[in-house]
């Protein structure tokens, strides 16, 4: 058994601290996670017209994402097939194609190699241009959110999102659609890429304590949590983890609680739209619409619905990330409401965000204290609620019945270990029937199977 196969104790909800530090683990993550999973690229609203493009990261790979003539979207690696130079230094724009700044090789908006200067005069050997296009990734969209994947063997984006779609549909679709307001803010954090992702996937526990000061000075429905003065009451929320490690935590009815001077306006907007959503999805999911959702899509894409922040955490080695932050707005909101949400989102969860900076300190130290040899031999604990997770007839995924718990941590790291172990996606698919067993224990899992069969 390799040292990589026992990083996570799925049954007991612990992880080795070395997952935040070890360079060998990181290299395996690049190969088996970032070159294999669906990774967030952009939102369709950022590239509406033929020739529009943005540049972004897939893991550490730099990619160009471009709208094609037929309306489809392609993504390809931003590295010339001649000597490897970046072919596009801009973050966004509209172009007919991309010309390498080194020798002038030029590529079409579809990534195909079109021209090499003095090809006839200088290239004695025949270079087959059709085989020297920029390296392509698969591209698929879900409700306008565009993801890319380097693995042809991976499931479709829809299958990859799986049960998570049921939760995403509430705000991505039933609202009439959303869009991301860019450009993103971009900042460097000296932390491992999993530290913010696990936090957004499943950590309501830290809110009252980490953000004590922000909650205290920004009046709103969650201010009472400041300094852990009170616990959210029983039934205040729940946590969910799904097949491919995606997780969501729901704090009922809290919606825009952190949105400062926009709270009332957003609550009023939601109150007007809620009946429409209830008609489409029923009362339970309409309640999600007005709730606060913290969530991560495995491996490195997070969002807060309610606080309306959308994040991508691009890894830069085991000890550093680049954080990309966009605002989420509903398409049919008036311009001033979109602008207000964007303004307040950056004030709370942007680069100068009054909440964001509290988190980044925690994420950085939990990464770098593992320089210590003895330190990183230790384990991290995510056992809160262990033994209580269950399958629910109405809620897809594995459910933890509390606003605060660590169900989604356990689900995130269960899949993390599974995909690190897997030689191909077939190894992952082989676990489709029983993926939840380590989270539930045999007995509960057996009950879950019976319930599913009935």
Q: Which of 206, 261, 332, 361 is catalytic?
A: 206
Q: Are 390 and 401 in contact (CB under 8 A)?
A: yes
Q: Which residues bind other proteins (CB under 8 A)?
A: 46, 49, 51-52, 89-95, 181-190, 210, 212-214, 216-218, 226-227, 260-261, 322, 339, 342-343, 346-347, 350-354, 356-358, 360-361, 364
103 is a catalytic site residue:
yes
Distance in Å, CB of 342 to other proteins, minimum? 8
DSSP character string of 230-278: SPPPTTSEEEEE-TTS-EEEEETT-TTTT-GGGHHHHHHHHHHHHHHHH
Based on CB atoms, which residue is closest to other proteins, 311 or 347? Answer: 347
Q: Which of 24, 103, 261, 332 is catalytic?
A: 103
Nearest to 404 by CA among 238, 164, 263: 238
Q: Which of 43, 61, 211, 292 is catalytic?
A: 211
- At 20, list the tokens: 């935040």
Distance in Å, CB of 163 to other proteins, minimum? 33
Q: Show Cβ contacts of residue 180 under 8 Å, excluding neighbours closer than 6 positions.
A: 42, 43, 45, 46, 310, 326, 327, 328, 329
Q: Which of 22, 52, 169, 359 is catalytic?
A: 359
Based on CB atoms, which residue is closest to other proteins, 236 or 357? Answer: 357
359 is a catalytic site residue:
yes
Distance in Å, CB of 392 to other proteins, minimum? 36
Nearest to 405 by CA among 254, 231, 165, 170: 231
Q: Which of 169, 203, 246, 346 is catalytic?
A: 203
Nearest to 174 by CA among 271, 280, 282: 280
Based on CB atoms, which residue is closest to other proteins, 223 or 431? Answer: 223
Q: What is the C-alpha separation between 26 and 5, in angstroms, rounded?
A: 14
Distance in Å, CB of 79 to other proteins, minimum? 18
State how far Cα 146 lies from the chain centre. 12
DSSP-derived letter for residue 130 is G
246 is a catalytic site residue:
no
Distance in Å, CB of 347 to other proteins, minimum? 6
Q: Which residue has the tokens 């920004």?
A: 218
Q: Which residues are tagged catalytic? A: 103, 203, 206, 211, 359
């Amino acid at each position: 058994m390799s040292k990589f196969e026992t990083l996570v104790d799925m049954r007991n909800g612990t992880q080795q601290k070395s997952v935040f530090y070890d360079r060998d683990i990181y290299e395996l993550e690049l190969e088996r996670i970032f070159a294999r999973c669906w990774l967030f690229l952009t939102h369709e609203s950022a590239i509406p017209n033929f020739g529009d493009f943005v540049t972004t990261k897939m893991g550490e790979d730099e990619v160009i994402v471009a709208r094609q003539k037929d309306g489809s979207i392609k993504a390809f690696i931003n590295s010339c097939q001649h000597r490897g130079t970046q072919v596009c230094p801009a973050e966004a724009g509209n172009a007919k194609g991309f010309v390498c700044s080194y020798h002038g090789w030029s590529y079409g908006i579809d990534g195909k190699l079109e021209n090499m200067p003095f090809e006839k005069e200088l290239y004695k050997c025949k270079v087959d241009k059709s085989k020297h296009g920029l390296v392509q990734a698969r591209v698929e969209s879900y409700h306008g959110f565009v993801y890319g994947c380097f693995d042809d063997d991976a499931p479709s984006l829809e299958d990859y999102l799986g049960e998570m779609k049921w939760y995403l549909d509430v705000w991505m679709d039933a609202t009439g659609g959303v869009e991301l307001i860019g450009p993103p803010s971009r900042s460097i954090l000296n932390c491992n890429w999993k530290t913010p992702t696990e936090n957004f996937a499943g950590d309501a526990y830290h809110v009252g304590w980490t953000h004590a000061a922000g909650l205290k000075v920004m009046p709103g429905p969650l201010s009472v949590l400041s300094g852990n003065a009170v616990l959210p009451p029983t039934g205040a929320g729940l946590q969910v983890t799904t097949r491919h490690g995606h997780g969501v935590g729901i704090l009922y009815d809290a919606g825009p609680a952190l949105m400062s001077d926009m709270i009332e306006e957003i609550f009023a907007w939601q109150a007007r739209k809620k009946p429409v959503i209830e008609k489409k999805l029923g009362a339970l999911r309409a309640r999600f619409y007005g709730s606060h959702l913290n969530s991560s899509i495995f491996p490195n894409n997070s969002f807060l619905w309610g606080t309306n922040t959308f994040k991508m955490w691009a890894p830069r080695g085991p000890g550093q990330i680049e954080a990309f932050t966009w605002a989420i707005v509903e398409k049919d909101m008036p311009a001033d409401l979109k602008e207000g949400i964007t303004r307040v989102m950056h004030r709370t969860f942007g680069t100068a965000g009054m909440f964001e900076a509290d988190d980044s300190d925690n994420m950085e130290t939990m990464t770098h204290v593992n320089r210590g040899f003895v330190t990183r031999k230790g384990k991290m604990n995510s056992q809160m609620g262990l033994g209580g997770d269950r399958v629910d007839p109405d809620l897809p995924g594995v459910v933890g019945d509390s606003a605060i718990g660590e169900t989604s941590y356990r689900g995130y790291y269960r899949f993390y270990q599974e995909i690190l172990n897997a030689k191909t996606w077939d190894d992952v698919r082989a676990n489709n029937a029983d993926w939840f067993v380590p989270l539930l224990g045999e007995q509960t899992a057996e009950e879950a199977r019976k319930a599913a069969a009935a």
